[in-house]
Amino acid sequence: MKFIRWVLAAIAVLGLGFVLGGLLLPSTTHVERSIVVERDPAQVFAALDSFERFNAWSPWAEYDPQATYTFEGPASGVGARMRWVGNQAVGRGSQEITASEPHRRIDVALDFDGNQAQASYLLVPEGQGTRVTWAFDSAHGMNPFKRWLGLVFDRMIGADYEKGLARLKAMLEHDTPR
């Protein structure tokens, strides 16, 4: 009986440590990656301000080639929305353009099966091309589990963002300049 009480006490202490430790962690997570695309900001903006070509460069398209996508609202700009339903690797969700500043910035509201986050694309002229910075921001509130998870977002998302930006660069640089 002492052993069981000891085990239960240890579980309670670990659980309390998890909760209290989680509440000491940052309440937000920011992940970003950048790349220079040898195209002018107008061309890069045109590709990102619509979800029409998203799967051509998306790092997640290959995770489930059978995923289904639906598009709503305008074809581009504020209100353009893409919804998806896929396997366990891509899940289900949506993304909607919430702000669009031509040739400079695009903000996107993300919903991953009920979990909200924000993404943005910042476009800055650099040399003969455009520096594209793709960022992800998530607020965790008072949820200690989400705060612990936030610690690994950079490793979880960063590599996919790098892959996606490399594909975007390849796609745009192989397009015939307009």
Task: Give the pLDDT confidence of 59-102 residue by residue, as tens digits.
Answer: 988 899 899 999 999 999 999 999 999 998 889 999 999 999 99
Q: What is the CATH number of the domain that holds 120?
A: 3.30.530.20
User: In this predicted structure, what is the pLDDT of residue 89?
Assistant: 86
DSSP annotation of 98:
E
User: In this predicted structure, what is the pLDDT of residue 19?
Assistant: 63
* CB burial of residue 82 (10 Å; 0-12, 13-18, 19+): buried
* Average pLDDT estimate for 12-22: 67
Which alpha helices (DSSP H) does 27-175 contain, by range? 41-48, 54-57, 144-150, 153-174
The boundaries of the domain holding residue 145 are 2-174
Q: How far apart are CA 171 and CA 38, in angstroms?
A: 11
Inter-residue contact 108 to 96 (CB < 8 Å): yes
Nearest-CA neighbor of 161 among 120, 103, 104, 109? 120
Secondary structure (3-state) at 128 = coil
Give how many domains the chain has, as a whole number: 1
Q: What confidence category does residue 20 fall into, taking pLDDT thresholds of 50, 70 and 90?
A: low
Q: What is the pTM of this model?
A: 0.83
User: In this predicted structure, what is the pLDDT of residue 16?
Assistant: 66
